[in-house]
Amino acid sequence: MLVPTGRRWPLAATTFLFVPGDRPDRFGKAAASGADVVLLDLEDAVAPADKDTARAEVGAWLERGEAMVRINAPGTPWFEADAALVAGRGVPVVVPKAETPGVLAGFREVIALVETARGVERAGELAAVPSVTRLAFGSVDLAAELGVAPEDPEPFAYARSRLVIASAAAGLAPPVDGVTTDLHDGDRLAADVRYARRMGFGGKLCVHPRQVAPVRAGFAPTEAEREWARRVVTAGASVSTVDGQLVDKPVLARARRILGG
């Protein structure tokens, strides 16, 4: 599991696995799932009556294990206590309903979860906050606000592009796509990953360990992409075309990114 260590830490992370904060029996299993990042969730996965218990369980885990924490949104009754929990332990945090740059600036390391219309419109401002290490997209909550189906990608094309452009402009790693809620439809998950990758995303939020391996595989370059990249890098700047495609500085840079260089 990745240990966050500054603004560049998420570059290699593609899989982010949610675990309900009131289910400590699942914490260890999540850590052993192979996910790049484990997200202990104090927000949507925890009922209001169980918030205090979840916070205590997450705090106990952080005394001996590593994870990120999704806290409750600013303005909720639980935000201040959740913020104190992560601040006291210096752990990175996912802030849901991210809309206000000043709120994000109060944390050391933040993934800003953009899931409201206002948040989408402020994506550039959120990405520019120094403590923000990455943006993530909350499609389910945004769907509820817009009155559209969360599984239909078309209504979210603008929002996704907005996050991708904002991330690039701020020098962040590509954003993290939202969850696929159907746990049993592998084809749906694969299609969602392919679409997110085409849109410029670099990772995905997962809600079950069985989603981790397919998501990681879906965001990895294909063998055909790697072979193309190897030919481009081998040719370098000494030739003008590879496979009939113009090779210039941006194309060479893309090839190197595919190869991890």
Binding residues for Mg(2+): 115, 141
Please give the DSSP secondary-structure letter assigned to residue 220: S
Q: What gap in Å lies between CA 173 and CA 13, rounded to an integer?
A: 9
Q: What gap in Å lies between CA 45 and CA 227, rounded to an integer?
A: 42
Contact in structure between 67 and 41 (CB atoms under 8 Å): no
Cα Rg, the chain, nearest whole Å: 19
Binding-site members are 70, 115, 141
Q: What gap in Å lies between CA 23 and CA 92, rounded to an integer?
A: 20
User: In the numeric block, which tokens belong to residue 6?
Assistant: 């500054």
Give DSSP secondary structure letters for 80-129.
HHHHHHHHHHT--EEETT---HHHHTTSSSEEEEE-SHHHHHTHHHHHTS
Q: What gap in Å lies between CA 168 and CA 67, rounded to an integer?
A: 26
| Torsion angle of C-alpha atoms 198, 203, 208, 211, degrees rounded to 10 | 50
- For 26, 97, 117, 175, the CA distances from 120, given in Å and listed in that order, are 32, 10, 5, 13
Binding-site members for substrate are 70, 115
